[in-house]
Amino acid sequence: MVCAILVLESRSTMANENWALRGNLLDFTGEPAWAQVQSPQVRWRPDHWLLVRGHRIEAVQAEPPGPDWRRIDHGDRLVMPGLIDTHVHAPQLDVLASYGAELMTWLHEYTYPAEARFDNERIAHDGAQRFIRALLRHGTTAALAFSTVHEAATDALFAAAHAQGMRLITGKVLMNRHVPPQLQDDVSGAEQACRRLIRRWHGCGRLAYAVTPRFAPTSTEEQLAMAAELLRDDPSLYLQSHVAENQAEVQWVRELFPESRSYLGVYSSRGLLNRRTVLAHGIWLDDEDRSRLQAAGATLAHSPSSNLFLGSGLFNWRQAREAGVRVCTASDVGGGTSLNLLRNLAAAYQVQALLGQRLTAWSALHSVTLGAAQALCLDQEVGRLEAGCTADITVWDWAQDPALEHRLALTRSLHERVFAWLMLGDERLLRSVVVAGRVAPDIA
């Protein structure tokens, strides 16, 4: 009942609104080839109008719309689809930039204590509101996010996203071992909580449910089997988890699951690997692992600023891509250091450079727009500036200071200009965010 009322209210605020936005439109029609700076998959439409009726894009055109359209003229600004974060932790804003620890120590010293506080409903409510507002203020209009182990906190997160009309996929974290007692669930209770959340929120407005075992070490065989059963019962559910982030973690998984060929094998042999599976990191995988990911159609959410900050390793994007594995870029906040996906793409470029590769602006931006939408089976809805898609839109300045403005004035091609903007820009360039046809307030 709550969901139905909220949807009705959201739609009523958008009804009968016709407006048009002018700017330089950039999006993608497909995946750009690796290292190709002149890509036919790049769709660049300078000085175009984006026409929005209700919550959808109605048309894209060069000529100005008629007098029945309210016009918003952004001049020379850059207009892109809303950005999509494929791996982020809602409760971990509290531990952003925590000092001096690798993954396992970091979880126990910082993450688990922060997540335990979300047992308090007021803290969970406030944290959910803060997280959703923060995503929007960084240009992210859709996300695949971890909640905590708490059902009420997951309810709060769904409700906060729904109130903004956001496309959010999340779920209650599953953990029944190797974590502090206050964060442990049990298989039966966790299953009942998941099924209640699925009934309340999956398919409600723009929301969807993700079955969320934190990572293999924190779930028993019984809990992993329960997660697989949820997926079998409803194939439209998502599965999100972590894999092969840190070498010590990989060794721990080997000790806990000696019968599994690899860390990834824990998931694949238990029915947790499919087209709607998104696994974060995937740094320490081998050729057979990548082959299994490709066969299942699963996605790796590369989290570059997190991998650098925690010293986890360097993810070989080109190697995964050549194996046919879909790769998206994610913030992984709080392991990552910023919710802004531009900053994370700049970090991704540096990771690839250390591996002797060069990540183009096109491959980078595709991974947080159309590529991410395709990974989440949402490319008919988001990730593109195209008639029929939901109007999730971001508008950006090219420069926020004279130095960047000067640098951009010297660029000789579109890729050079966009690449410099991407490497040197951040959320301070964000001028407007549109979610489902409505301008989000308090962004700039």
Cis-peptide, bond into residue 336, ω within 30° of zero: no
Residue 101's pLDDT band (boundaries 50, 70, 90)?
confident
Statement: residue 355 has pLDDT above 80: yes
Write out pLDDT tens, residues 378-397.
999 999 999 999 999 999 99
Residue 405: pLDDT above 80?
Answer: yes
Classify residue 444: in a domain, yes or no: no
248 neighbors 102 (Cβ within 8 angstroms): yes
The yes-or-no verdict on residue 440 having pLDDT over 50 is: yes
Convert the pLDDT of each residue in 32-61 to its tens digit.
Answer: 999 999 999 999 999 999 999 999 999 999
Claim to verify: residue 56 and residue 161 sit in the same structural domain: no
Q: Which domain holds residue 28?
A: 2-77+383-439
| One domain, residues 91 and 240 | yes
Average pLDDT of span 130-149: 98
Q: Residue 364: inside a domain, yes or no?
A: yes
Q: What is the DSSP letter of 95?
A: G
339 and 387 both lie in a single domain: no
Q: Which CATH number is 49's domain given?
A: 2.30.40.10
Residue 17: what pLDDT? Answer: 79
pLDDT tens across 173-194, in order? 999 999 999 999 999 999 999 9
Span 412-420, average pLDDT: 97
Residues 289, 361, single domain; the answer is yes
The pLDDT tens digits of the residues spanning 54-94 come to 999 999 999 999 999 999 999 999 999 999 999 999 999 99
Residue 434 and residue 82 in contact, taking contact as beta carbons nearer than 8 Å: yes
Structure tokens at 418: 């966009």
CB neighbour class for 5 (10 Å; exposed up to 12, middle 13-18, buried from 19): exposed
Q: Which two tokens stand for residue 397?
A: 């300045």
**Mapping DSSP to helix (H, G, I), strand (E, B) and coil, where does residue 70 land?**
strand
Q: Are residues 269 and 353 in the same domain?
A: yes
CA–CA distance, 132 with 142 (Å, rounded to integer): 10
Decide: helix, strand or coil at residue 62.
Answer: coil
- Is the entire prediction scored with pTM above 0.75? yes
The mean per-residue pLDDT over the stretch 117-124 comes to 96
My answer on whether 336 and 406 are in the same domain is no
Q: Residue 21 is inside which H or E element, if any? A: strand 18-28
